[in-house]
Amino acid sequence: MNKLKMHTPNLTQDNIARIKEVFPGCVTEARGEDGKTKLAVDFDQLRQELSESIVEGPQERYHLNWPGKREALLTANAPIAKTLRPCREESVNFDTTQNLFIEGDNLDALKLLQESYLGKVKMIYIDPPYNTGNDFIYEDDFAENAEEFLRRSNQKDQEGNRLIANSDSKGRFHSDWLTMMYSRLKLAKNLLRDDGVIFISIDDGEQANLKKICDEIFGKDNFLANFLWKKKATTSNVKDAQVSSQVDYQFCYKKSLEAKLKQRVKSADQRSYPNQDGEGSYRTTVIEKKDSGSYKRDTMKFEILGRPPRDGKRWQIGKETAEELQKKNRFIWDGEKILLKIYDFEDGDTFSAQPNLLDNHGSSDTGARLVNNELFGVPELFNNPKPVELINYFVDIAVDKNDIILDFFAGSSTTAHAVMQVNARDGGSRKFIMVQLPEACDENTEAFAAGYKSIPEISKERIRRAGQKILESECHKNWNKDIGFRVLKVDSSNLADVYYAPDSTNQRDLLTLTDNVKSDRTPEDLLFQVLLDWGVYDGLTLPICQKKIQGKTVFFVNKPPYDLIACFDFDLSEDLIKELAGYKPVRVVFRDNGFVSDSVKINVEQIFKQLSPDTEVKAI
């Protein structure tokens, strides 16, 4: 049987393979340090192929460079022998939820998701460290040769110790931040769908540099917008400050020309609506605006669904129009504000471009108030969480009802909160993937005093509390009410060192090795590593059923015909193999040493060829 590789893909070799497709004469074979033959680029020949456009030598040209850029690229491409281990006790609705919370280094997590979620994510939102001089950034291990990587990456993670202070007095202040961001954005781009988009929050400090590396990674033509989010309603009185910053930047890039943001609705009182039988597919828009006093207050502050506009606001539509829309069931209350339904069948001329000034989408104060006061009751639990209203807006303009949203700087998980809230509002089944490093809470903080030892603990608890609060409010009748999440933790591989570097094991060690799986790993741990390695799409959230067959534990992934059947027990008989082949799964996997005899192991592939010829059979 073929063996699963059980580590993330080598992206350098994948890139070389792509070059070979376009310039086959530029790729040759070379012998690596391990003595094995692999693909390599003939750079001299490649330069000749590109001689009309390549810029050679030290000529002046427009580009962004910094110490560590090459290492960042190599780091992004280097494979790792790590895995994601399920943690049922910290999850919510583990067996049924479609959402993920990954605890671990986001560079590792992005690599581990490369095969299962390649080209599957519709929207990414990240709020990375702003590099103010007081932030902590990731300290990455730069590339090394294959043997060194396998030895290092298979060791136990030092959880929470990947952050370093990035003081502005350091000589590599900007370089270290750029190196951290470059490798992660390179990997993130791979996960986006062709019509996918990414939103990145940043302030004045690194916005110019971020723009340049995003231009390089996503392409200048794929820059969509720089949204200016008004984070503060008033100016602050900071000593010695000459300018008070009231905005943050929200860069938006698309994966390709296929991606488009949804257009916004024009003023509703300027058009009529056709009758609608039942509820078709629709999106929603806010119909309030700041009360400038330019309209008579009594004519623009009537009740819709028994509610007046919120304090300081007025309706954007007149009373007569609102009455007609209400007869057609065009309004919904989301627990906070009145929203207008915009159906898919409506005339495209009623829409216009999105504004890039976001001055009514929550603030730093509202974000902090929601998390610290309303959800937790701890005034200084979490610093500067983004408001749900801001992420709601991005979800509304970029995402359809069944899409996947990723946030790999999750923080307090505002993005997860927003996704659940939008689903509850319109009946969607959007799925979120949160990634957060197990960063420890300082012992002198309110968070530590409240019993939270790490940022992921706060983040997971926020999702639990937000989900319950949303369930208690008015929800769309078609919502699946998925407020759960599977917790998966980045860890060293489930397989012992001998699996990756057998030539380093001496004869004395072999006497103690009866299995290539680490003694502290469970069959479910192995199952999730197999799902990652095989690249089963959505495999990390597919339903898993566990059955006893002929006294052995067997995992069934998804519904018949099963995407995967796995049995990691020992002493498997030929009768059991035949019974499993009868299910005709897409894939099946066993331990390499899990069979009752060598003859049974030899017969496994023949049994499946006879009873289920389309099944792919592998071993670990």
CA 616 to chain centre: 29
Strand partners, 223: 253
**pLDDT surpasses 80 at 255:** yes
**pLDDT surpasses 50 at 43:** yes
Please tell me the distance from the alpha carbon of residue 573 to that of residue 577, in angstroms, as a whole number: 6
pTM of the model: 0.80
Per-residue confidence (pLDDT) for residue 2, from 0 to 100: 78
The average pLDDT across 485-504 equals: 79
Q: Report yes or no: 213 and 178 within 8 Å, Cβ to Cβ.
A: yes
Please tell me the distance from the alpha carbon of residue 505 to that of residue 502, in angstroms, as a whole number: 6
Helix spans in 6-141 (H): 11-22, 43-49, 69-77, 106-112
CA distances from 497 to 243, 518, 533, 590 (A): 56, 9, 17, 19
Give me the residue spans of the domains in the chain. Answer: 2-55, 79-235+244-261+356-489, 274-345, 513-619
Q: Report yes or no: 194 and 119 within 8 Å, Cβ to Cβ.
A: yes
- Could you tell me which of 540, 530, 546, 539 has the C-alpha nearest to residue 563? 539
Please tell me the distance from the alpha carbon of residue 517 to that of residue 472, in angstroms, as a whole number: 45
Residue 486 three-state SS? strand
Per-residue confidence (pLDDT) for residue 29, from 0 to 100: 77
The average pLDDT across 437-456 equals: 93
> How many C-alpha atoms does 508 have within 13 Å on its Cβ side?
0
Average pLDDT of the residues of the chain: 85
Per-residue confidence (pLDDT) for residue 292, from 0 to 100: 65
The average pLDDT across 24-45 equals: 76
Say which CATH topology domain 79-235+244-261+356-489 has: Rossmann fold (3.40.50)
Q: How far does the chain reach from its first CA to its final CA, in angstroms?
A: 9
Residues 313, 319, 325, 329, Cα dihedral to 10°: 70
**pLDDT surpasses 80 at 482:** yes
Helix spans in 141-250 (H): 146-153, 173-191, 207-218
Per-residue confidence (pLDDT) for residue 276, from 0 to 100: 46
If one compares 109 and 60, the residue with the highest pLDDT of the two is 109
Residues 310, 312, 318, 322, Cα dihedral to 10°: -10
Q: 368-385: per-residue pLDDT in tens? A: 999 999 999 998 899 889
Per-residue confidence (pLDDT) for residue 147, from 0 to 100: 52
Neighbours of 108 (CB within 10 A): 22
Q: 277-290: per-residue pLDDT in tens? A: 455 667 778 888 88
Q: Report yes or no: 511 and 457 within 8 Å, Cβ to Cβ.
A: no
Token pair of 377, please? 């009751």
Per-residue confidence (pLDDT) for residue 22, from 0 to 100: 82
Neighbours of 581 (CB within 10 A): 21
DSSP class per residue in 259-315: --PPPEEPPGGGS-----SS--SEEEEE-EEE--S-S-HHHH---BTTBPPPTTEEE
Per-residue confidence (pLDDT) for residue 275, from 0 to 100: 44
**pLDDT surpasses 50 at 604:** yes
**Residue 159 contacts by C-beta under 8 Å, 6 or more apart in sequence?**
104, 438
Q: Report yes or no: 262 and 397 within 8 Å, Cβ to Cβ.
A: yes
CA 512 to chain centre: 40
Amino acid at 168: D
**Residue 12 contacts by C-beta under 8 Å, 6 or more apart in sequence?**
74, 77, 78
Q: 142-194: per-residue pLDDT in tens? A: 544 445 555 555 544 444 456 666 666 555 667 889 999 999 999 999 999 99
Q: 305-345: per-residue pLDDT in tens? A: 999 999 888 888 888 788 888 888 889 888 888 988 877 65
> How confident is residue 271, by pLDDT bands cut at 50, 70 and 90?
very low
Token pair of 102, please? 């990954």
Per-residue confidence (pLDDT) for residue 155, from 0 to 100: 47
